[in-house]
Chain A
Amino acid sequence: MPVQGLRTVTSARNGVGAFILQCKRLDFHYCNHGGSSRGMLAFLTQTLPEFARENPQIEVRVAPRHGKHPVIKGQYINGREKAICVRNMEPGEILKKAMILKDASGEKLKRTKKPVTSLNESVRGIWSPYHGDLRGV
């Protein structure tokens, strides 16, 4: 056989063609009695419908959790989950937290130094000591 094909899989580049929001689902947990849920209850009645309408790609779930602080949990496409406790917060602050969960990629937080990461090979090639003008010593 002269030349064989090697089987691989193309790697995804989210955003190059289509863009898929990484936040899949937001769970809003609240308590009907607890005082720390007061802002959450206001958020659920006032702001949440509009938030859900603006972000149709996110599945929104509202579920009571009796006797606990209110929490927003985000489920991501990579299978991870992020949770933010929103006890004693105003509806506006809760909206900000929901936006944080919406914009997050779901990855674990990492400290990086380089701004650009690339899948592509270096465009200009790698420098070689055996090419180009050799200077006499």
Chain B
Amino acid sequence: MKRLQLQRWSSTVLSPRARTSNKLHQHLYSASLRHQSTVAPLQTESPTQNVIEDASLDLEDPELKLRLDSVHKRKSQLKYPSPPVNAAAESAKLAALHARLYLPSRLPLETLARTLVDVSADPNADFNNESLATLGHDLLTYYTSEHLLATYPRLPLTVIFAAMYAYVGPKTLAAMSKEWGVDVASLPGGEVDPGFLQFKRVEPGTDLSKATKGKGPRPYAEAKNWRKTVTSKIFYDDEFGDPIKGSNEAGAGVPDELARATAVRALMGAIYLHSGRPAAKLFFQQHVLSRSLNISQLFNFSQPARDLTRLCARENFEKPVAKIISETGRLSRHPVFVVGIFSGQDKLGEGAGASLLEARERAALAALKGWYLYSPLNVRVPSSMEEEGAAPWKPAYVDLGEVIS
């Protein structure tokens, strides 16, 4: 209302010099319109900017001046696809996030703000979190894999892939960022509070499987029917055993889960860069390793009895023999058999089931899990040698490998 009145007033009374402010008001009006519309903000031309500065200097009305300042600020914010660097110091959300995660004071708020800008929101590599995320991803996967390999030296590779996915996979990292209270901005932009995670969403109806361009390092990746060995996954695939995809097209959207995971990785990278290795490792231990995972539930055996026979043959144990330990109600509707698998005098495993076959399978499963989940006492990971005053390194236990690969 005020704006309209001023316009009417200016057209009749004001001098032509003050009419610049009228023009300015029109500009303000159009700028705010653009801000609300979904069209990307245009780069403002320099002449109009000069007009603004002149006018703000000339005008003496403090209210108008204040408004002009805010317009000026908003215009400068609209110039960029992500919040300007100086906005980070003013964001309450960002400061609260910094304190909530007990981040080291050496990690500035500006970097924290940068970790929340996805590459889909701001393609400029100096202002998005892509580089930090690359570093953070490497650190996270390195620390997780050394923990898994040192703690469970006999895990099969497929289970290691699954455990890696459970600890630092995109789903877990996205859940972590939710538990940290990171909120998502509905649309990225320069005027958004830097405490929000900013990324461009995937357009509805986009085929996610075809969204990438380029190809991974695996040769003959197009041949769908070719067998992919587990060992080849170490060389050609990523840390979770998934084929490496090419980078996204520029300007394409990103799923919510991926954007959140990237932000968490970028934060890990930022902590490493600003506060060093011990800080990054502690952050990893406190946020990733402290989560609960039951590794024995990650196994999916198809033929446990066969695997167990092969294992005993390889380790020069006596042939495994299944024996009934106890049973009840064999002729009833609900019998229970307890079967143990023995290798000579030693019982390898035991299982109970409603039929003899089921009980035997369960017993073989228990025996195999017992073998695979061997864990040495007083586990030390290689990266513990980076600490000052670390005890001399004793070689970790290395297993032969999987029974059947």
Contacts and interface: CB of A to CB of B under 8 A. Distances in A.
Q: In the complex they form, do A and B come into direct contact, defined as C-beta atoms under 8 angstroms apart? A: yes
Given A17-B290, A18-B102, A56-B99, 10 more contacts: A2-B307, A2-B404, A5-B160, A6-B298, A8-B162, A18-B290, A20-B179, A59-B95, A120-B292, A130-B338
A59 B159 contact: no
Contacts of B234: none
25 contacts: A1-B158, A3-B156, A3-B302, A4-B300, A5-B158, A5-B162, A5-B299, A6-B297, A6-B299, A7-B165, A8-B166, A8-B297, A10-B167, A11-B292, A13-B290, A14-B179, A17-B286, A17-B287, A18-B287, A18-B290, A56-B95, A56-B98, A128-B352, A130-B326, A130-B336
Interface in A1-57: 1-14, 16-18, 20-21, 24-25, 56-57
Interface bracket on A: 20 to 34
B169 interface: yes
B307 A57 contact: no
Interface residues of B, number: 58
A3 B93 contact: no
Contacts of A10: 166-167, 172, 288, 291-293
Given A8-B166, A9-B175, A60-B92, A2 B156 contact: yes
Contact of B176 (A1, A6, A12, A130): A12
- Count chain A CB atoms within 10 A of each CB in B96, B160, B297, B328 and give the residue with the most: B96
A132 B119 CA distance: 62
A1 B300 CA distance: 10
Interface string A117-136: 00111000000101100000
Nearest to B175: A9
A130 B300 contact: no
Nearest to A1: B302
